[in-house]
Each structure stands twice: as structure tokens, then as C-alpha cells.
């Protein structure tokens, strides 16, 4: 066999391993991306289910107060700070029988139209860490009307209803479905890369 022919067959024998190594890296990349995306969807789904559970406890027994940022105060649990917001107490039947606990002072009887302040649930280290406006979700807990959490304006509508809870559960289920689709897509991608490599 001539020298040139020998080189040709040597090259032909070396080519499959190079293709195999390239395919291996592609498979690793597909798996990594698939796992990361699936984890993001899975965590989002779990958080959505958790929020649905919390909202269910407040359905039909809550109200919303809009507030604007004033200053910040030490968080009750961490070393961060919470924002303090000011707002006007809206008209709601819950005010008649329950004192208002704003998370800052002792609970007091609040009336419709009262200027109120309340502790936000967001945490931060400086004024710029806090939104300028929030909606506070108030619900009855241990006989008192308390700020359960705060979020961007419009997050809670006029208060938590059964349809709010249903919507949150649908969102959680949708995210769970995306998790499964992402995992299925990862498996398909690995098989496609593997077929192409061979």
C-alpha cells in the first residue's frame, strides 16, 4: 500500500472519534440548558402553588390599600429594612369589627378615609431598593386586620376572591406543564444530537 493511501485510511479512521467527541459536547450542552430551564419552570410552579395556598386562606376575607413610599424601618426578622408606606383606608366591612395592625404600632381602630401608614413586605438596604407605590393586601388574622404582603399596584385587584385563587392555581399548573415540556424537549434534543453525531 502506498504512503498516500495509508494516510487516507488513517484519516478515515480518525474522523468518527472527532465527530463523536463533538456530539458528546453538544449533548452535554443540551442537557445543561434543558436542566436549567426545567428547574426555573419547576421553582416558579412551586412558588405559584405556594402563593395559591396563601391566597386561599384570604379569599373573601381581605381588602386592598394603596400606599406610597415614605421611609424605611428595620425588618423584624432579617438585618435588612422594610419600606414604610402611607395610604388612605378605603371603605370595607372588615373595618367595623377588626382593629388595624399596620406592622409598626399597636393595633388601632381605623375608619374609612383615615390616613394610615403600614410596613411593606419588600426588603432592601436603601431607599432606591423600594418601589414608590405598592398595594397592600389586608386580611383578618387572629381577630386583627393585618398587612399580609405588599406587591406592585393592581396585583390583588379589589381583594382576594375564589377566582383569584383559581387563576393562581391555573398559572401554577401551566408552569408545571412547561416544566414537563422542557424535560421532554431536553430528551428529544439529546436523541437528535446523538443521531446526528452518528
> 141-191, pLDDT tens digit by residue?
888 999 999 999 988 887 788 888 888 899 999 999 999 999 998 888 888
Given a cut of 80, whether residue 1 has pLDDT beyond it is no
Mean of pLDDT values over 84-112: 91
Do 98 and 132 share a domain, yes or no? yes
Q: Mean pLDDT throughout 42-69?
A: 89
pLDDT at 79: 86
The reply to whether 134 and 190 lie within a common domain is: no
Same domain, 92 and 46: no
Residues near 70 by Cβ (< 8 Å), separated by ≥ 6? 83, 84, 85, 86, 117
Our CA dihedral for 141, 158, 50, 95, rounded to 10 degrees, sits at: 0
Band of residue 22 on the pLDDT scale cut at 50, 70, 90: low
On whether the CB atoms of residues 101 and 147 are closer than 8 A, the answer is yes
Q: Do 150 and 174 share a domain, yes or no?
A: no
More confident residue, 30 or 146: 146
Measured distance CA(139)–CA(87) in Å, rounded: 16
Across 13-27, 73-87, 139-153, least confident range: 13-27
The CA distance from 72 to 117, in Å, is: 12
Kindly report the pTM of this predicted structure.
0.66
Residues 44-67, mean pLDDT to the nearest whole number: 88
pLDDT band of 75, cuts 50, 70, 90: confident
Residue 11: pLDDT over 50: no
Instruction: List the one residue out of 185, 166, 181, 142 whose CA is nearest residue 52.
Output: 166
Q: What is the DSSP letter of 89?
A: P
Domain count, the chain: 2
Do 70 and 84 form a contact (C-beta atoms < 8 A)? Answer: yes
DSSP H helical ranges for the chain: 3-58, 94-97, 162-197
Structural domain contains residue 3 = no
Per-residue pLDDT at 125: 93
Which structural domain, as residue segments, surrounds residue 186? 15-56+166-197
Amino acid at each position: 500500500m502506498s504512503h498516500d493511501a495509508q494516510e487516507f485510511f488513517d484519516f478515515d479512521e480518525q474522523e468518527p472519534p472527532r465527530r463523536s467527541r463533538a456530539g458528546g459536547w453538544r449533548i452535554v450542552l443540551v442537557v445543561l440548558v434543558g436542566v436549567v430551564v426545567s428547574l426555573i419552570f419547576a421553582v416558579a410552579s412551586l412558588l405559584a402553588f405556594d402563593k395559591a395556598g396563601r391566597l386561599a386562606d384570604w379569599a373573601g376575607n381581605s381588602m386592598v390599600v394603596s400606599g406610597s413610599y415614605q421611609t424605611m424601618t428595620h425588618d423584624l426578622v432579617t438585618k435588612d429594612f422594610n419600606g414604610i408606606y402611607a395610604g388612605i383606608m378605603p371603605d370595607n366591612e372588615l373595618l367595623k369589627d377588626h382593629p388595624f395592625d399596620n406592622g409598626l404600632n399597636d393595633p388601632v381602630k381605623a375608619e374609612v378615609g383615615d390616613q394610615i401608614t403600614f410596613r411593606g413586605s419588600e426588603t432592601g438596604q436603601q431607599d432606591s431598593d423600594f418601589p414608590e407605590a405598592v398595594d397592600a393586601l389586608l386580611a383578618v388574622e387572629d381577630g386583627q386586620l393585618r398587612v399580609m404582603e405588599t406587591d406592585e399596584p393592581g396585583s390583588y385587584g379589589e381583594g382576594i376572591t375564589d377566582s383569584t385563587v383559581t387563576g393562581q392555581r391555573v398559572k401554577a399548573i401551566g408552569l408545571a406543564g412547561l416544566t414537563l415540556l422542557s424535560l421532554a424537549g431536553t430528551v428529544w434534543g439529546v436523541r437528535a444530537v446523538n443521531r446526528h453525531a452518528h
